[in-house]
Amino acid sequence: MPSVGKAIPHESAVGHVTGTAPYLDDLPRYAGELVVGFAGAPFAAGRITKIDTEAARQIPGVVCVLTAADQPSAGATHFGPIFHDEPLLVSDAVSYLGQPVVVIATENEDALRLALSAVVIEGEPTKPVLTIDDAIAHDRYLGPVRHIRRGDTEAALKRAPHVLEGTFFCNGQEQFYLESQATLAVPEDDGNLRLISSTQNPTESQAVVAEVLGLPYHKVVCECPRMGGGFGGKETQGAIPAAMAGWVALLAQRPARVIYGKTLDMQITGKRHATKAWYRAGYDDDGGLLALDVTFVSNGGAFADLSTSVMERTMLHADNAYFVPDISITGKIARTNLPPNTAFRGFGGPQGIVLIETILQDIAQQTKLDAFDVRRRNVYGHDTRNVTPYGQIVRDHVLPELFDALETRCDYRPRMRQVEAFNAENRTHLKGLAMTAVKFGISFTTRFLNQGNALVNVYTDGSVQVSTGGTEMGQGLNTKIKQLVADAFGIDAASVRVMSTSTEKNHNTSPTAASAGTDLNGHAALHACEQIKERMAGFAAEQFADESRGLTKSPDDVRFENGVVYDRRAPDRRLPFANFCDAARRARVDLGARGFYATPGVDFNRETGRGNPFFYYTAGVAAAEITIDRFTGDLVVDRADVLMDVGQMINPGVDLGQLYGGFIQGVGWCTTEELKYGDDGSLLSPSPTTYKVPNATDTPRVFHVNTFPNPRHKVNVRWSKAVGEPPLMLGIAPFLAARHAMSFVNPDVLPPLQLPATNEAVLMAVTAMWQRDRPNAETAEEQRRGAAVQ
């Protein structure tokens, strides 16, 4: 029976649950293996004047101590996925606190700790630039300024009956993958190097290590067996530990391993970009958007990393699910003295989406309309009002249908009346209810990354190995690939093994990111299967041809189903797949192939801000009801309803897991997770004791997650849709529900709540709204009671 469409268990489920799935730190130690670490800059900005490693070199067990002066002369001095602006080690100018300065390799962990503490780094610190506002004041930016425009926004704003103007800030977010950054480097014959790395991007790690060490790419192989989570944080940031391990291994000719501790990982790796937006939105009496002018400035950190691409996606999602006739979007990246920020699930999309959802919520409060009606009025249409600001037609979607369906399913109108009644009577708590949407573009916005390749080998016992450039970080990619390949050959999924990702089997690959892992690698794997099946069918047609029964050679009539091969014209003669493979090999039929896939129709010109950056869109809506304690600011998500169009699911169990998990991660970004930095650039929330990721008590008390059919969607592998990133943006709904709750405190004042809505932030926002003048709103007695509550 076909396995696609079935919730077969995740291929590593047992290993994950029992703790037997080996991660990089679990791999057995090699004989003579070295432990590698680094000493970082003691200040966030300034210049180094002294690096003294002599005492460290004298520590027993120290094998090598390396500084920037020791880097191979043939190697590149700087690296980066877009701009080569980041050094491996600091030699002079310091750009962020903890930036690597000295690499040390030792025989054991104790020697490493002693040696690192013996390193002396002195310098001339200067005041660091840490915030977006500070960077603007100092005119410090990374990369070019980008624009996306349609129509005459200024004229439309002048004509608009109403204009909403303001600023909005959303903080960053820590990826908080369970397995920290890690690489094991093993030297091989003839100056070759093998890396085993916890990375979403083996090709990037291969390239950076080769370039830093002055090696051609073919002398470096990077493997990724599995990751303990990634969420974008291992797309580029694994390059530094990989380069350190590779450098030591090549120099000492001994295996070398780098494993970051959790606190160190949080302190020096990049995160989701904090972003500030300045906006003006024109609208009519019915809440219809007429114009939007917005400038986004993100906190890129010290170096470019992926910031320009992340900002690009923020701009591309500033419309989210809504049509804006006249719109102007500008994007800039602030350069600060923080670790370079990087990819995070959603890749800039959440920062754009939360802004327009907040604007629509505030327009509803200003017009005294229900926010659902405001959103529903502005949602993209099918035949009209269906073109994005960058000129792409929003095709084959079900956005209006999603709104209408969830409105009914979650009893939105009756519950809104209940919320209003509760807030009219209760003096200690507030309730809020909001429904938000997501329209997330699927594809890399950099065109050349929209490609994948795969290697498929069929063995004579009927079993199959598949290798792709996709990496498994717990999201179920390998399980879906296994199902697709199994169905291609008509065999059980247990007969298919997806191999560890390696650059020697799949070269020049794209990172497993942009929610496109299954799309790219699944298509490529099926392309390889088609080539093999074409050869198999030709051989089978010869075997099944029978003149006495009038059966001519007809490859088109050969079927691969339920573990057997047969001619559909004579189904009584069936060959077990394994027997057929053995016979095919003996007849010298090639049972292996390399597949390739390039996403069609994607082409975006970032200079003009026009084009088709996405193959399709994954869309959904969510309704969230929350309760706020007025005394403490405690925010509880009472209920959440999620409804998404994810096409025809390859594995419903895996996909639903992504929907649940993505939503909760979004709720964490919006309500509990807060990055705090000291004036010296130090991260003050570098562990679970100070950084609040969601736990069981933060999940909605009632939680409904469902999918919605979309008969219009007829593209992509098995008509599926990407599900990795889109549900995170629906975690914005509880944040907007909190703003809705606050509107009952003072309907004449827009809530000052920014993101994240931590308990402290909620309490301060509610207090601030009570303290504002409320003309024609309360009697003196009501004001007295309200003050007493506060």
How far is it, in rounded angstroms, from Cα 338 to Cα 134?
13
How does DSSP classify residue 72?
Answer: -
Q: What is the dihedral of CA 61, 64, 68, 69, to 10 degrees?
A: 130
Stated as kind and residue range, the H or E segment containing 212 is helix 202-213
Residue 772 near residue 460 (C-beta atoms within 8 A):
no
Angle (deg, nearest 10), helices 371-378 and 399-409 = 160
How far is the first Cα of the chain from the last one, in angstroms, to the nearest whole number?
A: 63
User: Catalytic annotation on 86?
Assistant: no
CA distances 35 to 183, 319, 437, 453, Å, are: 11, 49, 48, 35
How far is it, in rounded angstroms, from Cα 144 to Cα 779?
54
The residues near 279 (Cβ < 8 Å, ≥ 6 apart) are: 164, 165, 166, 167, 168, 292, 293, 294, 295, 355, 359
How far is it, in rounded angstroms, from Cα 287 to Cα 324?
12
Stated as kind and residue range, the H or E segment containing 66 is strand 62-66
Residue-by-residue DSSP string for 322-370 = B--SEEEEEEEEEE-SSPPP---TTTTHHHHHHHHHHHHHHHHHHHT--
b/e code 148-163 from CB counts within 10 Å (16+ = b): bbbeebeebbeebeee
How does DSSP classify residue 217?
Answer: G
Pick left, alpha or beta for residue 282 (phi over 0 → left; psi -120 to 50 → alpha; otherwise beta). beta
How far is it, in rounded angstroms, from Cα 757 to Cα 755?
5
Q: Is 209 exposed, middle or buried (0-12, 13-18, 19+ CB in 10 A)?
A: buried
Q: Spot the catalytic one: 107, 154, 725, 778.
A: 725
Catalytic residues: 725
